[in-house]
Structure 1
Amino acid sequence: MAVHAHPDDESSKGAATMARYVREGVDVLVVTCTGGERGDVLNPKMDRPEVKESITEIRRAEMARAREILGVKQAWLGFVDSGWVENYDPADPSGLPEDAFARVPVEQAAEPLVKLIREFKPQVILTYDEEGGYPHPDHIHTHVISMAAFEAAGDPDRYPEAGAPWQPLKLYYHMGFTRSRVVALHEELLAMGEDSPYGEWLANWDDKDDKSDRVTTRVPCGEFFELRDDALRAHETQIDPDGFWFRVPLSVQRRRWPTEDYELVRSLVDSTVPEDDLFAGVHTPADVKG
């Protein structure tokens, strides 16, 4: 189960990993917390009044195309996009719209996720780190409710009306945007005599923000990068097909960094890091540590 804030997040974070596991026979469910209703049209080719007026319906249709490409199942939690806020402080969500997802109390917001966990019965959950991957209110709240639901889903005293308890065994954070990965791709392009889209980014990178040393798990999935990119392009309102996401040739990515990377933060099974498989240590219920 991969828990995401908006439609399109599933295609920019862990999409090749999910595509790989689906094709290996794993049942994969994407949970989308909001409909992306307050998202901007980020692709200039789609920036038209009729698109903005129908953004909710359009983003649902985009999500349907992306999940078909990846082969995943998908469920909506039904919350409303909070919108982007500069310098957002999660301790004070009062400046957000009244119906914003990030204003929903954790106990209330986690309940439908607990229900989905108990219905789907995932062994592994993917979500964002404590900063949300980036500080969008919905990404931060997605992290908070994912952590709460992971702990509550197996407790028969919590949310008794949400179904029979089920305890997931492992929880990971996405760690896709580390400095080590960006440097590797940047140096590879320069060595080839090609322009790199990462020069300015690296020049302004604050090393205290780097999370390279937190990566515990690198999942080989380079052969599925094309599917990942196709799923991204399905989100036409959000992704410019000629934009930043697609400037590094797939051959370079597969040669220099053919993995998607994660941090293992909760595990109820014995597994040794570093790992190359999200299901390392997950075999039978006998592996659970009490």
Structure 2
Amino acid sequence: MVVHAHPDDESSKGAATTARYAAEGVEVLVVTCTGGERGDVLNPSFQVPEGHEFDTVEGRRAVRRLEMARAAEALGVRQTWLGFVDSGLPEGDPLPPLPEGCFALVPLAEAAAPLVELVRSFRPHVMTTYDPTGGYPHPDHIKCHEVSYEAFVAAGDGSRYVVTGGAEPWEPRKLYYNHGFSMSRMRAVHEAMQGAGLESPFGDWIESRAAREIPEREVTTRIHVADHFDQRDAALVAHASQIDPDGFFFAVPRDIEADVWPTEEYELALSHVPTTLPEDDLFAGLREER
């Protein structure tokens, strides 16, 4: 089970990993916390699908659901929604308040309850989500971490989140934080592109103060996924309102990426099975358990 804040996050963070495991026969469920209703159009070539609109909350939600369905198909995974409303990314100084009723403002127990029920019904052995910083300080990403951690530790406790007629308690075995933004990866790809005489999309970024201040979290697990970059890319393109097919995500030639950085990285946060670090498999320790 992979838990994300918005539609398109599952395609930009760990997508090739989910595609790989799905191709190997693992049942993969993507859980999307919000509908992405406050996402702006980030693709200059985007055209609203026929029969839809994008200038109302309901219209944006419907388009984002359509895009999400296409992305899930590209990855070969199942997907479901928690049903919360996108908080948006407030900007300004001072920061404006978050919108009333948005995901980030929902009390933790209320926000985690539907995810606990999903964990109990789907019964995942492995869960992935964001680290406590959210990967970057978006209020929905931070909230996504909080509800995912809460669901991981609470779903196996029959005295918590008691629902009449609900599924039996289930304790997932391993919790990972995905590393969606890796400065080490950016630097390696940047240097490889420069070495090949190509313009790197990361040049200004890796030299910026903001980049220098990003803490590099521990990597415990590297999943080799180069064979599934094409599925990841297809999933990204499926989010047509958000992803520019001529933009940042596609600026690195795939042969260079596969040569320099063919993996996706994770941080093992909690484990109820013995495992030896570093790992090359999210199911390390679990396959032996079976």
TM bucket (normalised to shorter chain) is over 0.9
Which of 252, 257, 260 aligns to 1:248? It is 252
Aligned to 2:55: 52
Most deviating of 24-33 and 197-206: 197-206
TM-score, length of structure 1 as denominator length: 0.93
**Cα pair 2:43 2:244 within 8 Å, conserved:** yes
For 1:268 and 1:107, the matched residues in 2 are separated by 23
- Percent identity over paired residues: 56
Structure 1, unmatched stretches of 5+, are none
Which of 73, 82, 86 aligns to 1:81? It is 86
Aligned to 2:138: 136
**Cα pair 2:20 2:225 within 8 Å, conserved:** yes
Structure 2, unmatched stretches of 5+, are none
Q: What do the CA deviations read for 1:62-90 (whole angstroms, capped 9, x no partner)?
A: 0000001101001100111111113799x
For 2:169 and 2:96, the matched residues in 1 are separated by 34
Q: How big is the shift at 1:134?
A: 1.2
Query: CA separation of 1:279/1:87 partners in 2, compared to 1, >3 Å: closer, same or farther?
Result: farther
**Cα pair 1:41 1:47 within 8 Å, conserved:** no
Aligned CA-pair RMSD: 2.0
**Cα pair 2:219 2:267 within 8 Å, conserved:** yes
Q: What do the CA deviations read for 1:101-155 (whole angstroms, capped 9, x no partner)?
A: 1111001110000000000000000000111111111111000000111010000
Q: How big is the shift at 1:94?
A: 8.9
Q: What do the CA deviations read for 1:253-286 (whole angstroms, capped 9, x no partner)?
A: 1000000001001000001111110000013668
Which of 39, 64, 70 aligns to 2:75? It is 70
Secondary structure (helix, strand or coil) at the match of 1:172 reads strand
Q: How big is the shift at 1:36?
A: 0.5
For 2:182 and 2:161, the matched residues in 1 are separated by 37
Moved over 6 A (4+): none
Secondary structure (helix, strand or coil) at the match of 2:269 reads strand
TM-score, length of structure 2 as denominator length: 0.93
The one-letter amino acid of 2:133's match is E
For 2:133 and 2:55, the matched residues in 1 are separated by 29
The one-letter amino acid of 2:86's match is D
